[in-house]
Amino acid sequence: MILKSGKEILEKAKQNGYAVGAFNFSNLEQLKAILLACEEMKSDVIVQTSPSAIKYMGIDVVVPMVESIAKNLSISVCLNLDHGKDFDLVKQCIDMGYTNVMIDASDLPFEQNVELTKKCVDYAHEHNVSVEAELGSLKGVEDEVVAKESVYTNPKLAKEFVEKTGVDSLAVSIGTSHGAYKFKGESHLDIERLKEIKSQIDIPFVLHGASSVSDELKSMFIASGGEIGNAKGVSNQNLIESIKNGICKVNVDTDLRIAFTTGIRECLKDKTIFNPRDYLLKGMDMIKEEVKRKVGILNMK
């Protein structure tokens, strides 16, 4: 098998005290930039597609596209379904060759979340695919994920949830949110809650909504002609603290969207350019630099 399971990659990270970047993509250019950046950093990686990205690309092309690039790399690559909301999509992705799937039933009552998650786990494990689930929920808007308020993960319920479902990794809600506008002031994560969850459960944890929306990235976006207002993401220090306390997978989407768009905007300032390869390559270069920055942080100990 060309692609590795999420469990294999995340257990290695858990044992060695670092986190793996999980980067969303919705086209070939984004995917290539992510994988080539991680190859340069010699870092295993999880690439993932949301349901809306699957609709955009067409599921038939996703796995062959990832495998065609991954087969020439020295690093381990996992393909993950991000925020799958129903069994049918989870099953479809498994059948097509995804090696990790996320079933996000966090908006359902606890017992219904358990029931749907367990159904997905049973099918996935029959096919040697690992499963991520979520308990608690993040506020914000990103693709199909829409929530007005955050519900923090309850440590005791998390233990019961993992025991009843057999999931391989758990997305926890400790203060992040989806989208670019995560915090009004300084970023803050509930590390004490994470420590309590870790004391109850011995599986890898996942941090969603973990883009940093750094001042440097914002400045470049604005200089290219964009407007991003008071966007604020997760600080590097918060990320490092969370990794020290059990986070093994860090989801990043917004930062790459900003970087890709910045590169394209900057290139198109030259009004003589009309070849898509010119501006798409510039967008790819920006994603590569952002991925390498993020991977460097995730590997800090």
Structure tokens at 175: 């203060």
Dist. CA 106–CA 114, nearest whole Å = 9
Task: Say whether 300 sits in a helix, a strand or coil.
Answer: coil
175: left (phi over 0), alpha (psi -120 to 50) or beta: left
Q: CA 117, CA 108: separation in Å to the nearest integer?
A: 11
Distance between CA atoms of 191 and 109, rounded to whole angstroms?
A: 25
Neighbours of 91 (CB within 10 A): 17
Two tokens at 296? 């460097």
Q: Determine the 3-state secondary structure of 279 from DSSP.
A: helix
Q: Is 107 a catalytic residue?
A: no
User: Which residue among the candidates 44, 82, 104, 255 is catalytic per the annotation?
Assistant: 82
What is the radius of gyration, based on Cα positions, of the chain? 18
Q: How many CB atoms lie within 10 A of CB 39?
A: 17
- The rounded distance, in Å, linking the Cα atoms of 282 and 224 is 12
What are the E-state strand segments in the chain? 20-24, 45-49, 77-84, 100-103, 130-135, 140-142, 145-147, 169-172, 205-207, 247-252
Cβ neighbourhood burial of 96 (10 Å; 0-12, 13-18, 19+): middle
User: Nearest CA to 102 among 111, 112, 114, 93?
Assistant: 93
The residues that are catalytic are 82
